[in-house]
Amino acid sequence: MKRTLQQIADAVGARLLGNGKIEVHAVASLARASAEDLVFVEDNKHLQSALASKAGAVIAGEFASTVAANKPLLISDQPKLAFARAASLLSDNQHYAHEAAVHPTAIVDASAYLEKDVVIGERAVIGAEAAIGEGTTIGAGCVIGRGVKIGKNCLLYPQVTLYPGTSLGDRVIVHAGAVLGSDGFGYVRDRNSGRYEKFPQIGRLVIEDDVEIGANSAIDRGALEETRIGRGTKIDNLVHIGHNCQIGENVIIAAQTGLSGSIVIEQNAVLGGQVGIGEHARVEEGVMLGGQGGVLPNKILRGNGIVFWGTPAQPVREYLKQLATLARIAKK
Amino acid sequence: MKRTLQQIADAVGARLLGNGKIEVHAVASLARASAEDLVFVEDNKHLQSALASKAGAVIAGEFASTVAANKPLLISDQPKLAFARAASLLSDNQHYAHEAAVHPTAIVDASAYLEKDVVIGERAVIGAEAAIGEGTTIGAGCVIGRGVKIGKNCLLYPQVTLYPGTSLGDRVIVHAGAVLGSDGFGYVRDRNSGRYEKFPQIGRLVIEDDVEIGANSAIDRGALEETRIGRGTKIDNLVHIGHNCQIGENVIIAAQTGLSGSIVIEQNAVLGGQVGIGEHARVEEGVMLGGQGGVLPNKILRGNGIVFWGTPAQPVREYLKQLATLARIAKK
Amino acid sequence: MKRTLQQIADAVGARLLGNGKIEVHAVASLARASAEDLVFVEDNKHLQSALASKAGAVIAGEFASTVAANKPLLISDQPKLAFARAASLLSDNQHYAHEAAVHPTAIVDASAYLEKDVVIGERAVIGAEAAIGEGTTIGAGCVIGRGVKIGKNCLLYPQVTLYPGTSLGDRVIVHAGAVLGSDGFGYVRDRNSGRYEKFPQIGRLVIEDDVEIGANSAIDRGALEETRIGRGTKIDNLVHIGHNCQIGENVIIAAQTGLSGSIVIEQNAVLGGQVGIGEHARVEEGVMLGGQGGVLPNKILRGNGIVFWGTPAQPVREYLKQLATLARIAKK
């Protein structure tokens, strides 16, 4: 979708230097940009490369505003953010377009409620009493269980499964193969027979607004209560989140991280990839935990901005000191 | 589904104190219970909260039998187990109900054999010569390969894939997105070309009775022999089990654990989350392995009830001592 | 599919000792072989067992050529490789056969281009402008996005999702539930609002010839550039590969390994299971990394044939020495 530089500057809050009538239709990297592409640089070091590229215009920081530029500049105090917003503006969502609103092969229960501008992909299944908000797209082959609530402008890629009763807010993105609302892993062992019997897993899963969930991730619903993923939280591929977890707002959870049951992750926490956290643990606001780090059950990590690493997780300075000490001793 | 307290007490083997004609229709947590719900407590500490809750009745241990209670009590020597069984009794499986036995959009091969009361969900595919036992439910979008055998009263959630020849016992539960019977990861490298060529993966996968398998888990079939998951074993989400593994009865495998090929896990073992085990290793009866623990190829862990931790896994006491020693030295 | 021993010997480049007119129809393990099966042994130690088995013939190394054998032998300098090739020759791909070329329930866009001998399984969805090469099989329920290119003789098992624009070479095998070409995990945080906004994920994923990808794995497309998986590389189940990664030829990646963004893995590298690698790291040619090993962002591992282990990964000798040192000190 073409836009003029002026339109983009206005939309992303940048200051335009140069001809605002020039049109671009996409964003690109410096190496791949054509004259119809927009690029960005975050520091002076890459500015000359950007100006030397084939790009039609460059988004840059204030540092670029005094440079003699051979092409238009969009000056922003957060150039990468401005670039991301420009990309969103220029996107026509061509990556998952449907021709029909509800594909004829989709199976939509008569009691399901679809607001306007809902797109249902090929052979998706929408269960009884499900409700899907305006502008939401359900990809091919998704299975939306009974009573699921999905907000406005959500995007579910193909083959997503939502278990009955799961609730999604607005603008939630779910990638292919993700399973939301599955049973938690809870059993009671009979002392007499030694057999495990299923503890009820009848709670719900609530996903708040602006959450994104990666491909083939699995998030369990609560056992008796609910599992909740807070507003703006981003979850990568192949992540596991167990029953009753409470994830705060704007949390980052990288790929293959696993949370067992009843864990609290407070807002703005950042979990690296392959992190593992034991049941009833708590990661407090703004804590960062390095990749493969492990947290024992019932443990609390605290300290906004503090980085933890290792298993069991420790403040990274202490942990690195231990690693260095061991390496030194072993060399003697 | 409503039941009287007397019916529940009889069914779960509890002793009823109070009015057995009162009806309940579900189980709940203390916080969420209404007068139609049943709750449970395992110790005296929570008994007063349970009695103060809105619950219609309380399942508790012998400790509660002498208390002046304001509501009926169901006394059991395993209250949590009695609660789980009551939940099962009260459940009407509303979470995955179908109206038709075989949905008209399902594709069932003419040579497949379905016993009575089989439910096949929307657009599921049942391959040639597959056999599905009485009372089994196959969720929407499942793909059941040629020659698969599924026992009685199994429940497959949506989008499960069973590769050809896979065999499931009775009462097996498989969560959405799980893949059972896929090819193992086996190659032979040509010394001349340096290329990897596929070693045959033509064995089977056998899942015994009462196994539960979590969302998006993947279990490979045997290369030339079989992979087997023993009776009553419970497997969480995103678990990987490689070819030729032999998992015993009543084993617990938490989320994201990975077993490479030809591993033996004996009965009653417990593997925490994100455990990794190398090929041909053996975990003997009743061994417990903490989260993120790692076992080297060909290694044997033994000792019923012994807890191991770390990579390479060691008895937890030794491992904790090492961690403490290192922390102490590094502080000097 | 039956073949004479002479046909097999010719095809796999083995020297036949004995009656070449004998027919076999499959391969098997020593324990399960019948008279119509072919078995193999790699060393003298197992030769007598093979000769004592019910197998119709034995593939073995040169060591067997002077033995008085009671059944035909196929002598090869790479017996396991010859066995693998014989298995491939004898296979009639019975594990995923379709009767119709394009199943009537498949949804193939009018603008998609299918070469001859393409098989499309039940209710698969083939998007606009997709192109599928000769002899390729698309399993039941797969969703092939707009503009995807798939080469010749590929095999996609059921329920695979290919995001729009993804490209696969020839003879690529993709197991059930895998997701290829999903969005990378990239966000820009707005310094003012504290909210994460999506960085564009509009690059491509290119899978070269002869790659195999395991069940429920997820590989992201590039952000602005491309993610590439080199020729002959083999990827196990539940593996995560992030955006912009460049994986070389003949790389082995075992189950549950995770690669964050912009990583380079050079040819012939071997990554064990549950390995985790940080962004912009590089694993050079022929490096081996043991299970659960971790590599920090921007780090380079080098040394063809060198084995690394631990987190952060170190040459295995040094790491084992550290573990031994710690164990010794802790025992004092």
Residue B330 within any structural domain of the chain? no
> Are residues C253 and C194 located together in one domain of the fold?
yes
State the nearest Cα–Cα gap between A182 and chain B, in angstroms: 7
Beta bridge partners of B168: B150, B207
Give residue-wise pLDDT tens across range A49-76.
Answer: 999 999 999 999 999 999 988 999 999 9
In this prediction, residue B100 has a pLDDT band, given cuts at 50, 70 and 90, of: low
The DSSP secondary structure of A264-304, one letter per residue, reads: EE-TT-EE-TT-EE-TT-EE-TT-EE-TT-EE-TT-EE--T
Chain C residues near residue A81 by CB distance under 8 angstroms: 188-191, 197
| B140 and chain C in contact, CB less than 8 A | no
> Are residues C120 and C263 located together in one domain of the fold?
yes
Alpha-carbon distance A317 to A323, whole Å?
10
Q: Report whether pLDDT(B92) > 70.
A: no
In this prediction, residue A311 has a pLDDT band, given cuts at 50, 70 and 90, of: very high
> Are residues A70 and A113 located together in one domain of the fold?
no
Residue A168 within any structural domain of the chain? yes
* Residue C316 parent element (H or E): helix C316-331
CB-CB contact of B199 with C84 (8 Å): yes
CB-CB contact of A131 with A145 (8 Å): no
State the nearest Cα–Cα gap between B190 and chain A, in angstroms: 33
| A318 and chain B in contact, CB less than 8 A | yes
> Are residues A87 and A111 located together in one domain of the fold?
no
- Residue A204's Cβ-count burial label (10 Å; 0-12, 13-18, 19+) is middle
Give residue-wise pLDDT tens across range A212-233.
Answer: 999 999 999 999 999 999 999 9
The whole-number average pLDDT for the span A268-292 is: 98
Alpha-carbon distance C145 to B325, whole Å?
55
Alpha-carbon distance B171 to B159, whole Å?
18
Cα separation of the two ends of chain C: 65
Residue B164 within any structural domain of the chain? yes
> Are residues A48 and A135 located together in one domain of the fold?
no
- For chain C, how many structural domains are there in total? 2
Give residue-wise pLDDT tens across range B227-281.
Answer: 999 999 999 999 999 999 999 999 999 999 999 999 999 999 999 999 999 999 9
> Are residues A46 and A138 located together in one domain of the fold?
no
Give residue-wise pLDDT tens across range C110-165.
Answer: 999 999 999 999 999 999 999 999 999 999 999 999 999 999 999 999 999 999 99
Range of the domain at C61: 3-92
The DSSP secondary structure of C99-121, one letter per residue, reads: SSSB-TT-EE-TT-EE-TT-EE-
Count CB neighbours of C128 within 10 A. 15
For residue A103, indicate whether it is catalytic: no
Contacts of B229 (CB under 8 A, 6+ apart): B205, B206, B207, B208, B211, B213, B219, B235, B241, B247
In this prediction, residue B94 has a pLDDT band, given cuts at 50, 70 and 90, of: very low
Residue A102 within any structural domain of the chain? no
Residue B144 within any structural domain of the chain? yes
The DSSP secondary structure of B54-66, one letter per residue, reads: S-SEEEE-GGGTT
| C317 and chain A in contact, CB less than 8 A | no
| Residue C209 φ then ψ, to 5° | -60, 150
Interface size B-C, in CB pairs within 8 Å, comes to 176
Give residue-wise pLDDT tens across range C272-301.
Answer: 999 999 999 999 999 999 999 999 999 999
Chain C residues near residue A254 by CB distance under 8 angstroms: 185, 260
Q: Report whether pLDDT(C97) > 80.
A: no
CATH of the domain at B9: 3.40.1390.10
| B276 and chain C in contact, CB less than 8 A | yes
In this prediction, residue A100 has a pLDDT band, given cuts at 50, 70 and 90, of: low
Give the model's pLDDT for residue C18: 95
Alpha-carbon distance A29 to A49, whole Å?
11
Q: Report whether pLDDT(C242) > 60.
A: yes
Give residue-wise pLDDT tens across range C155-213.
Answer: 999 999 999 999 999 999 999 999 999 999 999 999 999 999 999 999 999 999 999 99
CB-CB contact of B237 with A240 (8 Å): yes
Q: Report whether pLDDT(B98) > 90.
A: no
Give residue-wise pLDDT tens across range A166-176.
Answer: 999 999 999 99
Residue A7 within any structural domain of the chain? yes
Mean pLDDT of chain A: 95
- Residue A23's Cβ-count burial label (10 Å; 0-12, 13-18, 19+) is middle
Chain B residues near residue C26 by CB distance under 8 angstroms: 202
Q: Which of C161, C180, C202, C238 to mutate to probe the A interface, most A CBs <10 Å?
A: C161
> Are residues C224 and C179 located together in one domain of the fold?
yes
The whole-number average pLDDT for the span C252-280 is: 98
Chain C residues near residue B179 by CB distance under 8 angstroms: 159, 175-177, 215-216, 237
Q: Report whether pLDDT(A93) > 60.
A: no
Domain end among C62, C92, C122: C92
CB-CB contact of C180 with C165 (8 Å): no
> Are residues B196 and B268 located together in one domain of the fold?
yes
Alpha-carbon distance B82 to B74, whole Å?
9
Residue B266 within any structural domain of the chain? yes
Q: Report whether pLDDT(A96) > 60.
A: no
Alpha helices in chain A (DSSP H): 5-12, 47-52, 79-90, 316-331
Give the model's pLDDT for residue A1: 82
The DSSP secondary structure of A189-201, one letter per residue, reads: E-TTT--EEEPP-
Give residue-wise pLDDT tens across range C9-55.
Answer: 999 999 999 999 999 999 999 999 999 999 999 999 999 999 999 99
Answer whether B96 sits within 8 Å of A224, measured CB to CB. no
> Are residues A213 and A312 located together in one domain of the fold?
yes
CATH of the domain at C139: 2.160.10.10
- Residue A115's Cβ-count burial label (10 Å; 0-12, 13-18, 19+) is middle
> Are residues B88 and B111 located together in one domain of the fold?
no
Distances (CA, A) of C320 to A173, A293, A330, C152, C314: 44, 21, 10, 46, 9
Catalytic residues of C: 243
Give residue-wise pLDDT tens across range A150-161.
Answer: 999 999 999 999
> Are residues A256 and A194 located together in one domain of the fold?
yes
* ipTM of this complex prediction, to 2 decimal places: 0.96
Task: Establish how many alpha carbons lie within 13 A of residue B122's alpha carbon, considering only the half-sphere containing its beta carbon.
Answer: 22
> Are residues A179 and A297 located together in one domain of the fold?
yes
